């Protein structure tokens, strides 16, 4: 009986993994490369209290800035893995984020938004896929180190609603696993990236702390 239950458990995990692929460029239903890539972040990190607004848990972030006046400002807290949007002195939005890993950290400092692009793609990072099968050959490809061979294609990483603020680093919609996981950029859930993008003019201060 125990062996039968074990087999059923293994089969369930196989089916589950096929339904929720970990490949960030899985070609699913999402406009930007699959639900896996833009699935957002539906729970807070272990040991952290949920983001709340008006007493309600809002782990996917919230926005209450429509109609609020004041100069915009974005504060990115690396320890909290959250970004805070201000208009004047009023906090109007909070979103979970995923910033750079130890090898590709997101530098602290004071910056300004210098570029905005709705359908931006990375010029450095992506994946290499087999053209015929669609199988991922290299899941963390870098144009400076990797080249697609015959029968392969380099797919540049999608960075929708991109806002550049420090060299190659910017904020954009992306996959949030619940911890720092990017090459330095600040990933946000898709819906929050859109809100931040549409409310942020060029020159908006960005403080990374």
Q: Which residue has the tokens 């008006």?
A: 54
Task: State how far the alpha carbon of 158 is from the alpha carbons of 83, 94, 171, in Å.
Answer: 21, 23, 12
| Main-chain dihedrals φ then ψ at residue 5, nearest 5 degrees | -65, -35
DSSP string computed for 110-146: EEE--EEEEEEEEEEEEEEEETTT--EEEEEEETTT-
120 is an active site residue:
no
List helix spans (H) across 38-137.
none
172 is an active site residue:
yes
Q: Which residue has the tokens 């059923």?
A: 8
Q: Considering the candidates 172, 183, 191, 198, report the single residue annotated as catalytic.
A: 172
Q: Considering the candidates 120, 185, 191, 198, report the single residue annotated as catalytic.
A: 185
Computed from CA positions of residues 8, 10, 16, 18, in that sequence, does the dihedral angle turn out positive or negative?
negative
What is the β-pairing status of strands 152-166 and 169-173?
antiparallel
Range 17-56 burial, b when 16+ CB lie within 10 A, else e: eeeebebbbbeeebebbbbbbbbbbeebeeeeeebeeeee
Cβ-Cβ contacts under 8 Å for 150 (sequence gap 6 or more) = none
Q: What positions carry a catalytic annotation?
A: 172, 185
């Amino acid at each position: 009986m125990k062996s039968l239950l074990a087999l059923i458990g293994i089969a369930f995990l196989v089916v589950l993994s096929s339904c929720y692929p970990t490949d960030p460029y899985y070609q699913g239903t999402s406009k930007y490369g699959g639900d896996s890539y833009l699935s957002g972040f539906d729970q807070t990190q272990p040991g952290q209290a949920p983001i709340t607004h008006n007493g309600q848990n809002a782990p996917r972030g919230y926005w209450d800035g429509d109609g609020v006046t004041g100069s915009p400002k974005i504060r990115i807290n690396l320890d909290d893995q959250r970004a805070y949007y201000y208009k004047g002195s009023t906090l109007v939005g909070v979103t979970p984020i995923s910033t750079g890993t130890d090898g590709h950290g997101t530098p602290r400092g004071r910056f300004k938004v210098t570029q905005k692009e709705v359908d931006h793609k990375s010029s450095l990072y992506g994946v290499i896929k087999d053209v015929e099968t669609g199988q991922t050959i290299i899941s963390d490809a870098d144009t400076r180190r990797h080249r697609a061979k015959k029968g392969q294609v380099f797919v540049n990483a999608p960075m929708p609603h991109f806002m550049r603020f420090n060299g190659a680093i910017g904020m954009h919609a992306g996959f949030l696993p619940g911890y720092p996981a990017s090459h330095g950029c600040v990933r946000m859930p898709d819906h929050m990236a859109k809100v931040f993008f549409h409310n942020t003019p060029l020159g908006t201060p960005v403080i990374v702390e």
